[in-house]
A and B are shown apart, each in its own frame.
Chain A
Amino acid sequence: MNIKTVRLLLIVLTFINFTVFANPSNSTPAELNIELNLKQQLGEYHPPYVASWIENSQGNPVRTLLLWREKAKWLKDIRRWWRKVGKKDAEFVDGITSATRAAGKYPLNFLAQDDRNTTLKKGQYTLFIEVVRENGGRSIIRQPFTLNGEKETFTLAATHETDEMSFSVSPR
């Protein structure tokens, strides 16, 4: 093997390495930005229970982004999240729990990873935000999005429990 061949080989190897690292499914996860906006309500007010999570195209949950809750007794009222995620793993629920928050805007950001911090594969997903208030109502927001290396921005229409919110997917 002469010097020229080695050089060529090195160049080829470098290129291969580069493509491997540039593959978004193995490396840098996209950033997910949600501006959560819990609606001001009139009358008796309990801060809502909120869960936000991602389901894949088969409707299987891949990542719970947040859980704002009170006592275990009320977890079942976050209906879809409890049915799909919460009831299956008590330790996991404890691990992601945080306290409820009053009405207002909450800018949040997450990485497009699953519950084990593995970067989500390219494909179709749905963001869910479920908001339930004691003595109040329930709203569930579904926003399909795609992980394909391109930026996407969505406006999430106001519901009974939320004001207009924004959601964006930004590859890094």
Chain B
Amino acid sequence: MNLKKIIALTIACAISTQTFAHSRWVLPTHFNLSAEQGEWIMVDITASNETFNVDKAMGADLVRIITPDGKSSRPSSTYKGHRKSVADYFLAESGTYKITNNSHPSYMTSYTMNGDRKRLSANKAELSGQLPNEAKEIKTTYRYSRIESYVTMNTPSDNFKTDGQLLELIPVTHPSDIAENEKVTFKFLFNGKAQKDVSVEITADGARYRNNPQTLTLVSNEKGEINFMPKAAGRYLLIAEHQENTPKSPLADQQMGSVFLTFEAQLN
């Protein structure tokens, strides 16, 4: 591979990362609760590149709460505003709840025309007739994003069931045990297997009020794990991405998974 090719490839990667790295998150009012008769939580749902200030409302239709006994449930009510959606939910039983706002897996084709980057919601088989003749740098991606957080009421439980689809995060350190200045370990799976070289970014709350966002950049190791230590108590957004080429697929050139995890580091 000559230098020009390497540079071209690097730029292509950078562009595709930028295309996808639209931060989305769910932000629960509480991550850890103590209660005898259950507790209400509310969850903000938004697409925003500013951690944790809301920007564009994402619908709450896909919000699901996995209860400690593994059942999927829905918010009791939701509201969609211009900057965020809000979901209301009652935690009735003790344990760890997983809040998700996962998109459906989908195909997206990107291309450039006259230097502009464009997108089509179509797989490779659906492209004919939809793609302009001048389209260049055509690339179809099969993608799936997980937007998630964990809330624990009283005694924690392991609510970390996986489904083997693209990128998944398993909290090796239980989310309710994360604290400032203590080591945290998360593990990544890609299509059900431990995945090394997953790109991870972790940003603390309050990015609006810092000149430097102080984003921590990590890559998963051979075991698919990342290790880090939150320096301060507070809320954090973790964004992980991984993509692989799929030369054998008739529908996509690559597959890409993302995880957006909101978690809290507690005071120690």
CB proximity of A62 to chain B, nearest CB, Å? 18
Whether a CB of chain A sits under 8 angstroms from the CB of B266 is: yes
Q: Does B48 contact A (CB under 8 A)?
A: no
A88 to B154, CA, bound (A): 7
A75-104 interface mask toward B, CB cutoff 8 Å, 1 = contact, 0 = none? 110011011001111100000000000000
Query: Scoring B residues 25 to 37 as 1 if CB is less than 8 Å from chain A, else 0, what string do you get?
Result: 0000000111110
**Given A83-B177, A87-B176, are A75 and B34 also a contact pair (CB < 8 Å)?**
yes
- Per DSSP, chain A at the interface is helix
Asked whether any CB of chain A lies closer than 8 Å to the CB of B179, the reply is yes
Whether the pair A79, B34 counts as a contact (CB closer than 8 A) is: no
In the complex, A83→B33 CA distance in Å? Answer: 10
Contacts of A73 in B (CB 8 A): 34-35, 39
Task: Say if the beta carbon of B268 comes within 8 Å of chain A.
Answer: yes
Q: Does A21 contact B (CB under 8 A)?
A: no
Number of interface residues of A (CB under 8 A): 17
| Residue pair B155, A87 in contact (C-beta under 8 Å) | yes
Q: With A and B bound together, what is the CA distance between A76 and B152 in angstroms?
A: 11
Interface centre among A71, A82, A87, A90, by most B CB within 10 Å?
A87
A89 to B32 alpha-carbon distance, docked (Å): 15
A76 touches B32 (CB 8 A): yes
B171 at the interface (CB under 8 A from A): no
Is the Cβ of B34 less than 8 Å from the Cβ of A80? Answer: no
B35 and A80: CB pair below 8 A? no
Q: Tell whether, in the assembled complex, residue B155 and residue A79 are in contact, meaning their CB atoms are under 8 Å apart.
A: no
Q: Quick one: which of B34, B36, B155 contacts A76, CB cutoff 8 A?
A: B34
Tell me whether A63 is interfacial, beta carbon within 8 Å. Answer: no
What distance in Å separates the Cβ of B205 from its nearest Cβ neighbour in chain A? 17
Given A72-B36, A83-B32, A90-B154 contact (CB < 8 Å): yes
A-B contacts, 21 listed (Cβ < 8 Å): A72-B34, A72-B35, A73-B34, A73-B35, A73-B39, A74-B34, A75-B34, A76-B33, A79-B267, A79-B268, A82-B34, A83-B32, A86-B34, A87-B154, A87-B155, A87-B156, A88-B155, A90-B154, A138-B267, A140-B267, A140-B268
Which residues of B pack against A, CB within 8 Å? 32-36, 39, 94, 152, 154-156, 176-177, 179, 266-268
Question: When A and B form their complex, which 9 residue pairs have the shortest distance between CB atoms, in order from nearest?
Answer: A75-B34, A76-B34, A72-B36, A79-B267, A72-B34, A76-B32, A79-B266, A72-B35, A87-B155
